[in-house]
Structure 1
Amino acid sequence: MQSAEHPSRAAEGHERSAGPRPRFDTLTVPKASDVLAAEVRERILSGELTEGTALPSERQLVEQTGLSRATVREALRILEVEKLLRIRPGRGGGAFVHRPNRDSLANTVQLVIRGQRIRLEALHETREAIEPTCAALAAKRRTDEDLADLDAANRDLVEAGDDIPRFLRANIRWHNAVAKTSDNELLIGFMSALSQAIYAATDIEQFMDSEIREITARAHTKITDAIREQDSPAAMRRMARHVCGFAHAVAHIDRRDGVELSESAED
Protein backbone atom coordinates (compact mmCIF):
# COMPACT_ATOMS: atom_id res chain seq x y z
CA MET A 1 0.00 0.00 0.00
CA GLN A 2 1.46 3.41 -1.06
CA SER A 3 1.82 5.90 1.76
CA ALA A 4 0.45 9.43 1.45
CA GLU A 5 2.95 12.23 0.67
CA HIS A 6 4.16 14.07 3.74
CA PRO A 7 2.28 17.45 4.05
CA SER A 8 5.44 19.53 4.41
CA ARG A 9 6.96 18.00 1.29
CA ALA A 10 3.76 18.72 -0.65
CA ALA A 11 3.88 22.34 0.45
CA GLU A 12 7.50 22.64 -0.63
CA GLY A 13 6.62 21.25 -4.05
CA HIS A 14 3.79 23.73 -4.38
CA GLU A 15 6.13 26.63 -3.46
CA ARG A 16 8.72 25.51 -6.01
CA SER A 17 6.09 25.38 -8.76
CA ALA A 18 4.63 28.78 -7.95
CA GLY A 19 7.02 30.55 -10.34
CA PRO A 20 9.63 33.28 -9.71
CA ARG A 21 9.29 35.33 -6.58
CA PRO A 22 8.26 38.98 -6.98
CA ARG A 23 10.93 41.67 -7.05
CA PHE A 24 10.84 44.95 -5.21
CA ASP A 25 12.38 48.16 -6.48
CA THR A 26 14.88 50.05 -4.41
CA LEU A 27 13.04 52.38 -2.06
CA THR A 28 14.09 56.00 -1.87
CA VAL A 29 13.52 57.51 1.53
CA PRO A 30 13.02 61.30 1.33
CA LYS A 31 15.45 63.51 3.17
CA ALA A 32 14.15 64.94 6.40
CA SER A 33 14.75 68.47 5.12
CA ASP A 34 12.55 67.76 2.09
CA VAL A 35 9.79 66.42 4.34
CA LEU A 36 9.88 69.52 6.54
CA ALA A 37 9.99 71.83 3.50
CA ALA A 38 7.00 70.00 1.98
CA GLU A 39 4.95 70.44 5.16
CA VAL A 40 5.70 74.15 5.44
CA ARG A 41 5.10 74.63 1.68
CA GLU A 42 1.67 73.00 1.90
CA ARG A 43 0.69 75.12 4.89
CA ILE A 44 1.69 78.26 2.97
CA LEU A 45 -0.06 77.32 -0.27
CA SER A 46 -3.22 76.17 1.53
CA GLY A 47 -3.50 79.58 3.16
CA GLU A 48 -2.96 78.31 6.69
CA LEU A 49 0.18 80.47 6.91
CA THR A 50 -0.59 83.95 5.62
CA GLU A 51 1.67 86.57 4.05
CA GLY A 52 4.22 87.92 6.52
CA THR A 53 3.69 85.24 9.15
CA ALA A 54 6.87 84.63 11.16
CA LEU A 55 7.89 80.99 11.46
CA PRO A 56 9.24 79.71 14.77
CA SER A 57 12.96 80.33 15.25
CA GLU A 58 15.48 77.71 14.18
CA ARG A 59 15.91 76.64 17.80
CA GLN A 60 12.15 76.29 18.24
CA LEU A 61 11.80 74.33 14.99
CA VAL A 62 14.54 71.96 16.14
CA GLU A 63 12.71 71.42 19.44
CA GLN A 64 9.28 71.04 17.81
CA THR A 65 10.30 68.70 14.95
CA GLY A 66 13.09 66.73 16.61
CA LEU A 67 15.30 67.41 13.60
CA SER A 68 18.85 68.69 13.64
CA ARG A 69 19.65 72.39 13.23
CA ALA A 70 21.40 71.60 9.91
CA THR A 71 18.25 69.84 8.60
CA VAL A 72 16.01 72.73 9.63
CA ARG A 73 18.32 75.24 7.96
CA GLU A 74 18.36 73.23 4.74
CA ALA A 75 14.54 73.11 4.68
CA LEU A 76 14.36 76.87 5.16
CA ARG A 77 16.89 77.41 2.37
CA ILE A 78 14.77 75.28 0.02
CA LEU A 79 11.72 77.43 0.70
CA GLU A 80 13.73 80.63 0.41
CA VAL A 81 14.96 79.59 -3.05
CA GLU A 82 11.34 78.85 -4.00
CA LYS A 83 10.54 82.39 -2.77
CA LEU A 84 7.99 81.06 -0.29
CA LEU A 85 10.01 82.47 2.59
CA ARG A 86 11.94 85.68 3.18
CA ILE A 87 14.89 85.28 5.52
CA ARG A 88 15.80 88.41 7.49
CA PRO A 89 19.10 88.32 9.37
CA GLY A 90 19.91 90.04 12.61
CA ARG A 91 17.89 91.14 15.59
CA GLY A 92 14.18 90.85 14.93
CA GLY A 93 14.89 88.71 11.89
CA GLY A 94 13.86 85.17 11.02
CA ALA A 95 11.86 83.37 8.35
CA PHE A 96 8.70 85.10 7.11
CA VAL A 97 6.02 83.69 4.79
CA HIS A 98 5.88 85.08 1.26
CA ARG A 99 2.92 83.83 -0.73
CA PRO A 100 3.30 83.57 -4.54
CA ASN A 101 1.84 86.45 -6.56
CA ARG A 102 1.73 87.57 -10.19
CA ASP A 103 5.37 88.67 -10.01
CA SER A 104 6.33 85.19 -8.84
CA LEU A 105 4.53 83.71 -11.85
CA ALA A 106 6.10 86.18 -14.27
CA ASN A 107 9.58 85.51 -12.92
CA THR A 108 9.09 81.74 -13.16
CA VAL A 109 7.81 81.97 -16.75
CA GLN A 110 10.74 84.21 -17.69
CA LEU A 111 13.18 81.67 -16.23
CA VAL A 112 11.55 78.87 -18.24
CA ILE A 113 11.64 80.96 -21.42
CA ARG A 114 15.32 81.78 -20.98
CA GLY A 115 16.38 78.42 -19.55
CA GLN A 116 14.67 76.42 -22.29
CA ARG A 117 15.59 78.97 -24.96
CA ILE A 118 12.02 79.13 -26.19
CA ARG A 119 11.85 80.16 -29.84
CA LEU A 120 10.63 83.66 -30.65
CA GLU A 121 8.02 82.09 -32.94
CA ALA A 122 6.67 80.09 -29.98
CA LEU A 123 6.50 83.26 -27.87
CA HIS A 124 4.42 84.97 -30.56
CA GLU A 125 2.17 81.92 -30.89
CA THR A 126 1.52 81.99 -27.16
CA ARG A 127 0.83 85.70 -27.22
CA GLU A 128 -1.58 85.31 -30.14
CA ALA A 129 -3.39 82.61 -28.18
CA ILE A 130 -3.91 84.52 -24.93
CA GLU A 131 -3.80 88.28 -25.54
CA PRO A 132 -7.06 88.50 -27.53
CA THR A 133 -8.70 86.75 -24.56
CA CYS A 134 -7.16 89.37 -22.26
CA ALA A 135 -8.77 92.09 -24.38
CA ALA A 136 -12.16 90.36 -24.35
CA LEU A 137 -12.10 90.00 -20.56
CA ALA A 138 -10.87 93.57 -20.20
CA ALA A 139 -13.94 94.78 -22.07
CA LYS A 140 -16.17 92.98 -19.56
CA ARG A 141 -14.35 94.07 -16.41
CA ARG A 142 -12.79 97.46 -17.10
CA THR A 143 -13.09 100.28 -14.60
CA ASP A 144 -12.62 104.00 -15.10
CA GLU A 145 -9.16 103.64 -13.55
CA ASP A 146 -8.27 100.90 -16.05
CA LEU A 147 -9.36 103.09 -18.96
CA ALA A 148 -7.26 105.96 -17.62
CA ASP A 149 -4.20 103.67 -17.50
CA LEU A 150 -4.77 102.49 -21.08
CA ASP A 151 -5.25 106.04 -22.36
CA ALA A 152 -2.17 107.28 -20.51
CA ALA A 153 0.02 104.48 -21.87
CA ASN A 154 -1.11 105.07 -25.44
CA ARG A 155 -0.73 108.84 -25.06
CA ASP A 156 2.83 108.30 -23.87
CA LEU A 157 3.42 106.06 -26.88
CA VAL A 158 2.23 108.77 -29.27
CA GLU A 159 4.17 111.52 -27.53
CA ALA A 160 7.38 109.45 -27.69
CA GLY A 161 7.83 110.57 -31.29
CA ASP A 162 11.24 109.45 -32.55
CA ASP A 163 12.32 108.33 -29.10
CA ILE A 164 12.12 104.60 -29.89
CA PRO A 165 13.09 103.27 -26.43
CA ARG A 166 10.36 105.42 -24.87
CA PHE A 167 7.90 104.22 -27.52
CA LEU A 168 8.72 100.57 -26.79
CA ARG A 169 8.40 101.04 -23.02
CA ALA A 170 5.00 102.68 -23.50
CA ASN A 171 4.00 99.85 -25.83
CA ILE A 172 4.80 97.22 -23.21
CA ARG A 173 3.03 99.31 -20.59
CA TRP A 174 -0.14 99.44 -22.70
CA HIS A 175 -0.19 95.70 -23.38
CA ASN A 176 0.39 94.93 -19.70
CA ALA A 177 -2.41 97.37 -18.83
CA VAL A 178 -4.79 95.37 -21.04
CA ALA A 179 -3.78 92.19 -19.21
CA LYS A 180 -4.22 93.91 -15.84
CA THR A 181 -7.68 95.07 -16.88
CA SER A 182 -8.62 91.43 -17.60
CA ASP A 183 -8.44 90.93 -13.82
CA ASN A 184 -7.06 87.41 -14.28
CA GLU A 185 -3.90 86.78 -12.26
CA LEU A 186 -2.60 84.01 -14.52
CA LEU A 187 -3.05 86.04 -17.69
CA ILE A 188 -1.42 89.08 -16.07
CA GLY A 189 1.61 87.02 -15.06
CA PHE A 190 1.95 85.34 -18.45
CA MET A 191 1.60 88.58 -20.38
CA SER A 192 4.16 90.35 -18.21
CA ALA A 193 6.69 87.60 -18.90
CA LEU A 194 5.85 87.34 -22.61
CA SER A 195 6.05 91.09 -23.21
CA GLN A 196 9.49 91.32 -21.65
CA ALA A 197 10.75 88.17 -23.40
CA ILE A 198 9.56 89.27 -26.85
CA TYR A 199 11.03 92.72 -26.33
CA ALA A 200 14.38 91.26 -25.22
CA ALA A 201 14.53 88.71 -28.05
CA THR A 202 13.62 91.04 -30.90
CA ASP A 203 15.71 93.71 -32.59
CA ILE A 204 12.63 95.77 -33.38
CA GLU A 205 14.13 99.24 -33.31
CA GLN A 206 15.37 98.82 -36.86
CA PHE A 207 11.87 98.75 -38.37
CA MET A 208 9.97 101.00 -35.95
CA ASP A 209 9.59 103.79 -38.48
CA SER A 210 7.01 106.55 -38.17
CA GLU A 211 4.40 104.69 -40.23
CA ILE A 212 4.55 101.59 -38.07
CA ARG A 213 4.40 103.68 -34.92
CA GLU A 214 1.29 105.44 -36.23
CA ILE A 215 -0.36 102.12 -37.13
CA THR A 216 0.43 100.76 -33.66
CA ALA A 217 -1.06 103.81 -31.95
CA ARG A 218 -4.24 103.59 -34.05
CA ALA A 219 -4.59 99.87 -33.29
CA HIS A 220 -4.24 100.58 -29.58
CA THR A 221 -6.88 103.30 -29.81
CA LYS A 222 -9.35 100.99 -31.57
CA ILE A 223 -8.80 98.23 -29.03
CA THR A 224 -9.13 100.68 -26.14
CA ASP A 225 -12.35 102.03 -27.64
CA ALA A 226 -13.79 98.50 -27.80
CA ILE A 227 -12.79 97.93 -24.17
CA ARG A 228 -14.35 101.29 -23.20
CA GLU A 229 -17.58 100.33 -25.00
CA GLN A 230 -17.49 96.89 -23.32
CA ASP A 231 -17.61 95.24 -26.74
CA SER A 232 -15.77 91.99 -26.02
CA PRO A 233 -16.02 90.47 -29.54
CA ALA A 234 -14.60 93.64 -31.11
CA ALA A 235 -11.84 93.89 -28.51
CA MET A 236 -10.84 90.27 -29.13
CA ARG A 237 -10.98 90.64 -32.91
CA ARG A 238 -8.98 93.87 -32.98
CA MET A 239 -6.34 92.56 -30.58
CA ALA A 240 -5.96 89.35 -32.59
CA ARG A 241 -5.40 91.38 -35.76
CA HIS A 242 -2.91 93.64 -33.98
CA VAL A 243 -0.69 90.93 -32.44
CA CYS A 244 -0.81 88.71 -35.53
CA GLY A 245 0.25 91.65 -37.69
CA PHE A 246 3.13 92.43 -35.36
CA ALA A 247 4.31 88.80 -35.32
CA HIS A 248 4.19 88.71 -39.11
CA ALA A 249 6.27 91.87 -39.34
CA VAL A 250 8.86 90.62 -36.83
CA ALA A 251 9.16 87.32 -38.73
CA HIS A 252 10.28 89.31 -41.78
CA ILE A 253 12.75 91.67 -40.11
CA ASP A 254 15.70 90.22 -42.00
CA ARG A 255 13.97 90.92 -45.31
CA ARG A 256 12.25 94.16 -44.36
CA ASP A 257 11.96 95.58 -47.90
CA GLY A 258 8.39 95.26 -49.07
CA VAL A 259 7.09 93.99 -45.73
CA GLU A 260 4.47 96.10 -43.97
CA LEU A 261 2.59 95.96 -40.71
CA SER A 262 -0.83 95.88 -42.30
CA GLU A 263 -3.86 97.63 -40.86
CA SER A 264 -7.28 96.40 -41.92
CA ALA A 265 -9.94 98.93 -42.76
CA GLU A 266 -12.49 96.79 -40.89
CA ASP A 267 -13.68 98.21 -37.57
Structure 2
Amino acid sequence: MEVPKASDVLANELRERILSGEFDEGTALPPERELVVQTQMSRTTVREALRILEVQGLVRIKTGRAGGAFVQRPGKDSIASSVSLLIRGRQIRLSSLLETREAIEPYCARLAATQRTEEDLAALDAANEAIADENGTLAAFLQANVDWHVAVATASHNELLTGFMAALSRAIYAATENERFVDAEVRRVAVRAHQSITDAIRAQDPKAAARRMTRHVHGYADAVLAVDERTDITVSDDS
Protein backbone atom coordinates (compact mmCIF):
# COMPACT_ATOMS: atom_id res chain seq x y z
CA MET A 1 0.00 0.00 0.00
CA GLU A 2 1.38 3.40 -1.01
CA VAL A 3 1.72 5.83 1.87
CA PRO A 4 1.27 9.50 0.88
CA LYS A 5 4.12 11.91 1.58
CA ALA A 6 3.69 14.13 4.62
CA SER A 7 3.96 17.24 2.44
CA ASP A 8 1.09 16.00 0.24
CA VAL A 9 -1.06 15.35 3.31
CA LEU A 10 -0.40 18.84 4.66
CA ALA A 11 -0.94 20.44 1.25
CA ASN A 12 -4.29 18.64 0.93
CA GLU A 13 -5.37 19.85 4.37
CA LEU A 14 -4.38 23.45 3.70
CA ARG A 15 -5.99 23.32 0.24
CA GLU A 16 -9.33 22.25 1.73
CA ARG A 17 -9.15 25.04 4.32
CA ILE A 18 -8.48 27.58 1.57
CA LEU A 19 -11.19 26.33 -0.77
CA SER A 20 -13.73 26.09 2.05
CA GLY A 21 -13.28 29.80 2.71
CA GLU A 22 -11.55 29.52 6.06
CA PHE A 23 -8.87 31.85 4.73
CA ASP A 24 -10.01 34.92 2.80
CA GLU A 25 -8.19 35.86 -0.38
CA GLY A 26 -5.15 37.99 0.37
CA THR A 27 -4.79 36.82 3.95
CA ALA A 28 -1.62 35.08 5.11
CA LEU A 29 -1.47 31.45 6.14
CA PRO A 30 0.09 30.77 9.54
CA PRO A 31 3.89 31.32 9.47
CA GLU A 32 6.13 28.36 8.74
CA ARG A 33 7.29 28.07 12.33
CA GLU A 34 3.68 28.04 13.55
CA LEU A 35 2.71 25.36 11.03
CA VAL A 36 5.70 23.30 12.20
CA VAL A 37 4.42 23.49 15.79
CA GLN A 38 0.79 22.82 14.83
CA THR A 39 1.49 19.86 12.57
CA GLN A 40 4.57 18.43 14.28
CA MET A 41 6.14 18.21 10.82
CA SER A 42 9.58 19.38 9.79
CA ARG A 43 10.18 22.81 8.31
CA THR A 44 11.26 21.10 5.08
CA THR A 45 7.89 19.29 4.88
CA VAL A 46 5.97 22.52 5.56
CA ARG A 47 7.91 24.38 2.89
CA GLU A 48 7.31 21.59 0.39
CA ALA A 49 3.56 21.68 1.12
CA LEU A 50 3.48 25.45 0.60
CA ARG A 51 5.39 25.03 -2.65
CA ILE A 52 2.73 22.57 -3.86
CA LEU A 53 0.02 25.14 -3.13
CA GLU A 54 2.03 27.82 -4.90
CA VAL A 55 2.33 25.69 -8.04
CA GLN A 56 -1.42 25.07 -7.90
CA GLY A 57 -2.00 28.82 -7.77
CA LEU A 58 -3.60 28.80 -4.32
CA VAL A 59 -0.94 30.82 -2.50
CA ARG A 60 1.53 33.52 -3.42
CA ILE A 61 4.88 33.31 -1.61
CA LYS A 62 6.50 36.56 -0.51
CA THR A 63 9.97 36.78 0.97
CA GLY A 64 11.37 39.25 3.46
CA ARG A 65 10.21 40.58 6.82
CA ALA A 66 6.63 41.08 5.60
CA GLY A 67 6.69 37.81 3.69
CA GLY A 68 4.72 34.61 3.98
CA ALA A 69 2.21 32.53 2.06
CA PHE A 70 -0.78 34.63 1.00
CA VAL A 71 -4.02 33.04 -0.19
CA GLN A 72 -5.24 33.63 -3.72
CA ARG A 73 -8.27 32.17 -5.45
CA PRO A 74 -7.91 30.15 -8.65
CA GLY A 75 -8.88 32.20 -11.71
CA LYS A 76 -9.12 31.78 -15.47
CA ASP A 77 -5.32 31.72 -15.72
CA SER A 78 -5.28 28.61 -13.53
CA ILE A 79 -7.83 26.94 -15.78
CA ALA A 80 -5.91 27.91 -18.91
CA SER A 81 -2.65 26.58 -17.45
CA SER A 82 -4.19 23.21 -16.54
CA VAL A 83 -5.86 22.78 -19.93
CA SER A 84 -2.66 23.80 -21.73
CA LEU A 85 -0.72 21.13 -19.85
CA LEU A 86 -3.31 18.53 -20.83
CA ILE A 87 -3.21 19.56 -24.50
CA ARG A 88 0.59 19.51 -24.68
CA GLY A 89 1.06 16.49 -22.43
CA ARG A 90 -1.39 14.34 -24.40
CA GLN A 91 -0.28 15.87 -27.74
CA ILE A 92 -3.87 16.54 -28.71
CA ARG A 93 -4.39 16.61 -32.48
CA LEU A 94 -5.09 19.87 -34.24
CA SER A 95 -8.30 18.42 -35.63
CA SER A 96 -9.47 17.69 -32.07
CA LEU A 97 -8.64 21.24 -30.98
CA LEU A 98 -10.68 22.64 -33.84
CA GLU A 99 -13.57 20.26 -33.14
CA THR A 100 -13.61 21.37 -29.51
CA ARG A 101 -13.69 25.00 -30.53
CA GLU A 102 -16.61 24.31 -32.85
CA ALA A 103 -18.45 22.71 -29.94
CA ILE A 104 -18.11 25.52 -27.40
CA GLU A 105 -17.30 28.82 -29.07
CA PRO A 106 -20.71 29.50 -30.65
CA TYR A 107 -22.16 29.40 -27.14
CA CYS A 108 -19.47 31.83 -25.98
CA ALA A 109 -20.63 34.19 -28.72
CA ARG A 110 -24.26 33.73 -27.70
CA LEU A 111 -23.46 34.63 -24.09
CA ALA A 112 -21.24 37.51 -25.18
CA ALA A 113 -24.14 39.06 -27.09
CA THR A 114 -26.18 39.24 -23.90
CA GLN A 115 -23.46 39.94 -21.35
CA ARG A 116 -20.96 42.20 -23.16
CA THR A 117 -19.88 45.56 -21.80
CA GLU A 118 -18.41 48.57 -23.55
CA GLU A 119 -14.99 47.44 -22.35
CA ASP A 120 -15.55 44.05 -23.97
CA LEU A 121 -16.50 45.71 -27.26
CA ALA A 122 -13.36 47.83 -27.13
CA ALA A 123 -11.23 44.69 -26.75
CA LEU A 124 -12.95 43.06 -29.72
CA ASP A 125 -12.51 46.18 -31.86
CA ALA A 126 -8.80 46.42 -31.00
CA ALA A 127 -8.23 42.79 -31.96
CA ASN A 128 -10.19 43.24 -35.19
CA GLU A 129 -8.05 46.23 -36.12
CA ALA A 130 -4.87 44.22 -35.63
CA ILE A 131 -6.27 41.24 -37.56
CA ALA A 132 -7.16 43.48 -40.52
CA ASP A 133 -3.61 44.86 -40.84
CA GLU A 134 -2.60 43.57 -44.27
CA ASN A 135 1.05 44.38 -43.58
CA GLY A 136 1.12 42.43 -40.35
CA THR A 137 3.21 39.29 -39.98
CA LEU A 138 1.70 35.85 -39.60
CA ALA A 139 2.72 35.87 -35.93
CA ALA A 140 0.96 39.21 -35.40
CA PHE A 141 -2.16 37.92 -37.14
CA LEU A 142 -2.23 34.74 -35.07
CA GLN A 143 -1.75 36.65 -31.82
CA ALA A 144 -4.52 39.10 -32.74
CA ASN A 145 -6.68 36.11 -33.63
CA VAL A 146 -6.06 34.61 -30.19
CA ASP A 147 -6.84 37.98 -28.59
CA TRP A 148 -10.16 38.21 -30.45
CA HIS A 149 -11.33 34.69 -29.63
CA VAL A 150 -10.36 35.11 -25.97
CA ALA A 151 -12.12 38.51 -25.97
CA VAL A 152 -15.34 36.83 -27.14
CA ALA A 153 -15.09 34.31 -24.31
CA THR A 154 -14.24 37.08 -21.84
CA ALA A 155 -17.35 38.97 -22.96
CA SER A 156 -19.41 35.93 -21.95
CA HIS A 157 -18.35 36.67 -18.35
CA ASN A 158 -18.04 32.96 -17.68
CA GLU A 159 -14.64 32.24 -16.13
CA LEU A 160 -14.65 28.55 -17.06
CA LEU A 161 -15.31 29.28 -20.72
CA THR A 162 -12.76 32.11 -20.72
CA GLY A 163 -10.00 29.96 -19.23
CA PHE A 164 -10.76 27.08 -21.53
CA MET A 165 -10.83 29.26 -24.64
CA ALA A 166 -7.56 30.94 -23.67
CA ALA A 167 -5.80 27.56 -23.61
CA LEU A 168 -7.54 26.32 -26.73
CA SER A 169 -6.78 29.43 -28.78
CA ARG A 170 -3.11 29.44 -27.79
CA ALA A 171 -2.79 25.78 -28.72
CA ILE A 172 -4.34 26.39 -32.14
CA TYR A 173 -1.92 29.31 -32.58
CA ALA A 174 1.02 27.01 -31.83
CA ALA A 175 -0.23 24.34 -34.23
CA THR A 176 -0.86 26.74 -37.14
CA GLU A 177 2.16 29.02 -36.84
CA ASN A 178 3.08 28.26 -40.42
CA GLU A 179 2.17 29.85 -43.77
CA ARG A 180 1.01 26.43 -44.98
CA PHE A 181 -2.03 26.57 -42.72
CA VAL A 182 -2.98 30.25 -42.76
CA ASP A 183 -2.70 31.84 -46.19
CA ALA A 184 -3.89 35.23 -47.42
CA GLU A 185 -7.38 33.98 -48.23
CA VAL A 186 -7.84 32.45 -44.76
CA ARG A 187 -6.81 35.77 -43.27
CA ARG A 188 -9.25 37.76 -45.44
CA VAL A 189 -12.12 35.43 -44.52
CA ALA A 190 -11.24 35.72 -40.82
CA VAL A 191 -11.32 39.52 -40.99
CA ARG A 192 -14.84 39.52 -42.46
CA ALA A 193 -16.14 36.82 -40.13
CA HIS A 194 -14.76 38.44 -36.99
CA GLN A 195 -16.28 41.79 -37.86
CA SER A 196 -19.65 40.20 -38.61
CA ILE A 197 -19.67 38.34 -35.29
CA THR A 198 -18.55 41.47 -33.44
CA ASP A 199 -21.43 43.38 -35.04
CA ALA A 200 -23.91 40.78 -33.76
CA ILE A 201 -22.40 40.93 -30.27
CA ARG A 202 -22.57 44.72 -30.33
CA ALA A 203 -26.22 44.56 -31.45
CA GLN A 204 -26.93 42.09 -28.62
CA ASP A 205 -28.27 39.52 -31.07
CA PRO A 206 -27.36 36.14 -29.53
CA LYS A 207 -28.85 34.02 -32.31
CA ALA A 208 -26.92 35.84 -35.03
CA ALA A 209 -23.72 35.80 -32.96
CA ALA A 210 -23.93 32.03 -32.39
CA ARG A 211 -24.90 31.32 -36.01
CA ARG A 212 -22.08 33.43 -37.45
CA MET A 213 -19.54 31.97 -35.02
CA THR A 214 -20.60 28.43 -35.96
CA ARG A 215 -20.08 29.23 -39.63
CA HIS A 216 -16.74 30.91 -38.93
CA VAL A 217 -15.08 28.25 -36.79
CA HIS A 218 -16.30 25.45 -39.05
CA GLY A 219 -15.04 27.23 -42.15
CA TYR A 220 -11.71 28.06 -40.50
CA ALA A 221 -11.25 24.42 -39.48
CA ASP A 222 -11.97 23.21 -43.01
CA ALA A 223 -9.57 25.74 -44.52
CA VAL A 224 -6.72 24.90 -42.14
CA LEU A 225 -7.07 21.14 -42.36
CA ALA A 226 -7.55 21.17 -46.13
CA VAL A 227 -3.97 22.45 -46.51
CA ASP A 228 -2.63 19.09 -45.40
CA GLU A 229 -4.40 15.74 -45.57
CA ARG A 230 -2.84 14.73 -42.26
CA THR A 231 -5.34 15.40 -39.47
CA ASP A 232 -3.05 14.16 -36.71
CA ILE A 233 -1.01 17.37 -36.44
CA THR A 234 -0.34 18.12 -32.79
CA VAL A 235 0.70 21.27 -31.00
CA SER A 236 4.17 19.81 -30.55
CA ASP A 237 4.82 19.44 -34.30
CA ASP A 238 7.63 21.52 -35.78
CA SER A 239 6.30 21.16 -39.31
Normalising to structure 1: TM-score of the pair? 0.79
Residue 205 of structure 2 corresponds to which residue in structure 1?
A: 231
Question: Among 33, 58, 67, which residue is 1:84 paired with?
Answer: 58
Cα pair distance change 1:225/1:32, threshold 3 Å = same
| 2:108 maps to 1:129 | no
Q: What is the CA-CA distance between 1:153 and the residue it aligns to?
A: 1.2
Residue 16 of structure 1 corresponds to which residue in structure 2?
A: none
Q: Partners of 2:203 and 2:132 in 1: how far apart?
A: 22
The AA in structure 2 aligned to 1:231 is D
| 2:19 maps to 1:45 | yes
| 2:161 maps to 1:187 | yes
Q: Partners of 1:165 and 1:203 in 2: how far apart?
A: 7
The AA in structure 2 aligned to 1:173 is D
| 2:195 maps to 1:247 | no
Cα pair distance change 1:81/1:210, threshold 3 Å = closer
Q: Partners of 2:150 and 2:186 in 1: how far apart?
A: 20
Residue 105 of structure 1 corresponds to which residue in structure 2?
A: 79
Q: What is the CA-CA distance between 1:199 and the residue it aligns to?
A: 0.7
- Identity across matched positions, percent: 64
Cα pair distance change 1:213/1:58, threshold 3 Å = same
Normalising to structure 2: TM-score of the pair? 0.88
Does structure 1 conserve the Cα–Cα contact (< 8 Å) formed by 2:26 and 2:72? yes
Higher relative contact order (CA 8 A, sep 6+): 2
Q: Secondary structure at the match of 1:159?
A: coil
Q: Extract unaligned runs of 5+ from structure 1.
A: 1-25, 256-267
Q: Secondary structure at the match of 1:86?
A: strand
Q: Partners of 1:53 and 1:216 in 2: how far apart?
A: 45
Q: What is the CA-CA distance between 1:207 and the residue it aligns to?
A: 4.9
Q: Partners of 2:217 and 2:75 in 1: how far apart?
A: 26
Q: Secondary structure at the match of 2:23?
A: coil
Matches within 5 A, 1:26-45: 30-45=4-19
The AA in structure 1 aligned to 2:205 is D
Does structure 1 conserve the Cα–Cα contact (< 8 Å) formed by 2:139 and 2:177? no
Cα pair distance change 1:231/1:82, threshold 3 Å = same
Matches within 5 A, 1:192-231: 192-231=166-205
Cα pair distance change 1:250/1:64, threshold 3 Å = same
Q: What is the CA-CA distance between 1:205 and the residue it aligns to?
A: 2.4
The AA in structure 1 aligned to 2:94 is L
Q: Partners of 1:162 and 1:101 in 2: how far apart?
A: 32
Residue 43 of structure 2 corresponds to which residue in structure 1?
A: 69
Q: What is the CA-CA distance between 1:66 and the residue it aligns to?
A: 2.7
Q: Secondary structure at the match of 1:112?
A: helix
Residue 168 of structure 1 corresponds to which residue in structure 2?
A: 142
Q: What is the CA-CA distance between 1:29 and the residue it aligns to?
A: 5.1
